[in-house]
């Protein structure tokens, strides 16, 4: 997919104010500092569409970006920032759970994981929560330029194996990316293209009266 248009549409603290169109939507989420803004900018071919974090954990907004006038890329707030107060952690949880419960047009979430780190409970628990709520997701490993190819292979395999050993019967799709080198961008966009087509085909099925 070639990105020909990417525009910021709206920021929300309230899920009920998010755009109400029937177009496919993809949510990007991960721990603060995982490289989410950089990845979104790299996907959209823009320097500053998503702000790279000066102050991680500060704003808890749902940001909608419309891509190629045909799908939404959603930038969800980062989680797990150590200095967040209990009150804002609760607010974050409420915002995120409501988002995933309410957004019927969500096709898939993308959970970002910094490839350098060992599996962290906060990420594993979050993915388990997605699983128990039947929300499809993929993993995006970020900052691959910081590791050598052998380490990338070992770390991603270990990560997926850990998931399989614990809660999962099947490995989720996963992508290896570097925003710095634009690694994995084409694969990710090809995957979104495929899901967009499936969404459109589903939408065109005649409704059945029962």
Residue 14 in tokens: 């309230």
Residue 61 binds to ligand GDP (criterion: CB under 6 A): no
63 binds ligand GDP (CB under 6 A): no
Of residues 146, 154, 166, 194, which one binds ligand GDP by CB under 6 A? 146
Nearby residues of 126 by Cβ (< 8 Å), 6 or more positions away: 29, 79, 111
Closest Cα to residue 137, out of 108, 115, 157, 160? 108
Q: Does 38 bind ligand GDP (CB under 6 A)?
A: yes
Stretch that binds ligand GDP, among 19-27, 100-108, 138-146, 199-207 (CB under 6 A): 138-146
80 binds ligand GDP (CB under 6 A): no
Pick the closer one to ligand GDP by CB: 62 or 105.
62
Question: Is the CB of 37 or the CB of 105 nearer to ligand GDP?
Answer: 37
* Closest-CA residue to 28 (of 45, 16, 42): 42
User: Which of 18, 34, 49, 113 forms a contact with ligand GDP (CB under 6 A)?
Assistant: 34
Please list the residues that pair with 29 across neighbouring strands.
Answer: 111
Burial zone of 104 (CB within 10 Å; 0-12 exposed, 13-18 middle, 19+ buried): exposed
From CA 126, how far away is CA 20, in angstroms rounded? 26
Subset of residues 89 to 118 that bind ligand GDP, contact rule: CB under 6 A? none
> For ligand GDP, which residue of 78, 80, 172, 184 counts as binding (CB under 6 A)?
78
Query: What is the C-alpha to C-alpha distance for residues 152 and 139, in angstroms, rounded to an integer?
Result: 14
Contact footprint for ligand GDP (CB under 6 A): 32-38, 52-53, 56, 78, 142-143, 145-146, 178-180
């Amino acid at each position: 997919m070639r990105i020909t248009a990417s525009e910021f549409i709206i920021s929300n603290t309230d899920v009920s104010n998010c755009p109400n169109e029937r177009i496919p939507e993809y949510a990007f989420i991960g721990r603060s500092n995982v490289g989410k803004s950089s990845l979104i900018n790299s996907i959209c071919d823009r320097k500053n569409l998503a702000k790279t974090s000066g102050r991680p954990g500060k704003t808890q907004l749902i940001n909608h970006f419309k891509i190629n006038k045909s799908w939404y890329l959603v930038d969800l707030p980062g989680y797990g920032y150590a200095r967040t107060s209990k009150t804002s952690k609760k607010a974050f949880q409420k915002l995120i759970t409501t988002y995933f419960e309410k957004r019927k047009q969500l096709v898939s979430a993308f959970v970002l994981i910094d490839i350098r780190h060992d599996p962290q409970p906060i990420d594993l628990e979050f993915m388990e929560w997605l699983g128990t709520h039947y929300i499809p997701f993929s993993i995006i490993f970020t900052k691959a330029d910081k590791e050598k190819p052998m380490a990338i292979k070992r770390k991603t395999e270990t990560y997926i194996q850990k998931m399989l050993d614990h809660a999962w019967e099947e490995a989720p799709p996963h992508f290896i990316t570097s925003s710095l080198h634009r690694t994995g961008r084409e694969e990710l966009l090809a995957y979104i293209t495929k899901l967009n087509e499936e969404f459109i085909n589903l939408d065109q099925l005649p409704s059945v009266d029962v």
